Structures are given as C-alpha cells and as structure tokens.
Amino acid sequence: MELVFLSLTLSDLPVIDILKIEYIHQETATASGTEIEAFEEKETRDKVQHYMAYWMGHRELQGVDVEEAWKCRTCNYADICEWRKGSGVLSSTLEPQAKKAK
C-alpha cells in the first residue's frame, strides 16, 4: 500500500478532491449503496496507514467504540473477540480504548 501512495505521489495524475465509495454485496455482486465524499489526502493517508499497521503486525487489535458495538452481532469473529469478552476493553490490557476526537 505504501508503494501505491509513492507511485501516486510521483505520477502525473490530476488532483483528486472527491471520492465515490460503492458498496458491493460479496455474494450477489450487486451495489447496495453509494456515497460521495470529499477526499482529504492527509486524513485518508493516516487512516490507511493505521489499518495497514494492524495487517502488517505493527499494532494490536482495536475494538469499535462502545456506541458501535451493535456491529459485533454480524461479525464472524464475535465468539473469539477479546475486545467483546472484555465488555469494550482489550482483555490483554484491560484499558478502555481512547475515543478519537472527530
């Protein structure tokens, strides 16, 4: 992913200021929704780097904010989730996740 950002930085692509996000159902391949969002390069870069850090093993798991715990009902990992078992805290640290300011 870092190489993608590097190649985009060095390319002659036009400035992107709007993103179109399309949600596609995995099994039926039908579009279930579309959103148009303003593209903020720094914010997008920070989010992608945060997500990639987990997948590359550079940071620990983080659960969702307690207000969004309803999402756990449909999660395939709900039965083994340490965050969920700790009622909104990671059982390995027993510290609540700091809520990010928006």
Name the percent of the chain lying above pLDDT 70.
72
Which tokens belong to 85?
């078992």
| Residues whose CB falls within 8 Å of the CB of residue 72, separated by 6 or more in sequence, listed in order | 64, 78, 81, 84
Whether 79 is covered by a domain: the verdict is: yes
Whether 97 is covered by a domain: the verdict is: no
- Full domain range(s) for residue 72: 2-85
| Residues whose CB falls within 8 Å of the CB of residue 82, separated by 6 or more in sequence, listed in order | 61, 90, 91, 92
Q: What pLDDT, on a 0 to 100 scale, did the predictor assign at position 58?
A: 94
Whether 91 is covered by a domain: the verdict is: no
Whether 92 is covered by a domain: the verdict is: no
Higher pLDDT, 14 or 46: 46
Q: What pLDDT, on a 0 to 100 scale, did the predictor assign at position 99?
A: 40
Q: What's this model's pTM, rounded to 2 decimal places?
A: 0.46
State the total domains in the chain: 1
Whether 21 is covered by a domain: the verdict is: yes
pLDDT confidence bin for 19, thresholds 50/70/90: confident
